[in-house]
Structure 1
């Protein structure tokens, strides 16, 4: 029997923070349903070979998926500025229950978030859509050649028209290496948005075991890769004022059908561009480790893009300071240690008010990494925190 799925189901499945004070403290259904068993959906596991450009597109046989871009920029006055653009996909039915294409048929739901942040200003918008997985011209979707991920007029799309339209032999056959990000939103403050060119200055990075990123001791996980080497240039509009910007971007791609274990309550995820040229991705999932401990994982990335997987016991994450944000205590200063890389960092959010007050709420904002002892600036990046 086919399931009838409502927008409430989409929000529950993508709920990065649960239901706030209304969530029963004894609930163990997995983090907002992300621990639900895979059923007839395809499941991520070790041994799957990622293939490009095919894997830049949507994977409708899996339950959930996202294209997640953050960027640390400076405007023409040298003032720091941050942005986020994320497209989420949620399967309405398992592959066995998928309806035939038709004018009213839909088997996928989509949600997108965008944000622009500078100083104390933080502007946020979201959109929703539905589509059929066989429709490449619908209201929302993601395709590989040429790459395009979109919802309405918000889109991340390739500059390269054909796979052979590139002088970079290492990236020949992949239209993902030069992208244009366009999204604008009207609001009572005069509107905000961006028109940005993204140029890859390093390779794609596969996390975990050749792209399978385990998320709990029980073995749940996702297929996960990143492009952490974006050079970003273009224009950002904030409160009706448009200014030139440039900086660095980080794009994450994940898909799964059972992302978490049933007892996991949320996560803290870091992406850092370090002054040495190295990159670092590190996360902890609260719960799901051995004996009920937190589960940690990460990737240490060389300036040339060579990844080194980091195990739970190779990552130290300790909250040092919390701020009251959106009616809850959120840790905005952390100590992050990676002994094998000689890292001992204090990672601070200079502006606490980065709450994504969307239908699915969470904290997402810019951070500065400093040497824990000397206070010397070591890098910049982004932090996402859920479940608070």
Structure 2
């Protein structure tokens, strides 16, 4: 029996296996609304047999978007568009549908990556906000330091986005507390230089993301799972967040009813020094799982079926989330099932492509004619 293909139940939602489509920004929205690109991009995974599909970082306000092409969930148009996608996925597949709610903070108001990804200038730019008035790097906007009223506004934005997600038919929410975006900015001493109750000690720096979590948990139906992507390291030496900080943060989340943590790293500074390689972030998820007993999701250059199988079988993480591997091969789970001797859901329209050496009646009839 393959561990990778064992079901996993989170509250009322059962994932058919442990393979997760990681949130991947497509930078193809119009004023925050999904387009046909999103329906095609996410729709192709409906037939892919994944355990969970998580849509890209979806922002809780226009100001919180990374780029003008990023998804939003702050008005009725966004909600309707997301609802149509959710309906498609459920009509044609069995994978639960998740969404990642986010606010980019000081990394907002940026151009599209294929245009350089630099801070926008002129009429296309918008004001940014962060825990402290510190730019992400040279050439980036200097954000406004959030006051308590601004913090409360953003907390409400997250809660309202969660309510919209529920009405749109989303099954799982993952909050984005990593990759240098707003919740991570509050957590990290690299970006948070406040001297009030939201800065200084780790306990204070955790206050904003925990307030966001509490507000979303209260707004999100109790039977639906809620998790969060956190950082295992800032990759900034002793000046930044360490794995011990992630353990403490995850324990606080667990006390509040968090259902899973997706452990990534980096993104807080252009000065980071990341050492990459196959599975280079898995040890972060493993450390958090061992310390807290929480359901964890591992990420970071997980590309091969046997590699993913070993991560789950050895108890290093409960789920594996993949991005590039699934962009390259949307039907990666089919290949993994073949390699690991497991079963995977295949829509009847595609069954002929899964039959090895078996002729259908039509093919037999064509052979007879020939």
Query: Could you tell me the TM-score, scaled by structure 1's length?
Result: 0.25
More helix by share: 2
Query: Could you tell me the TM-score, scaled by structure 2's length?
Result: 0.26
Bigger Rg over Cα:
2
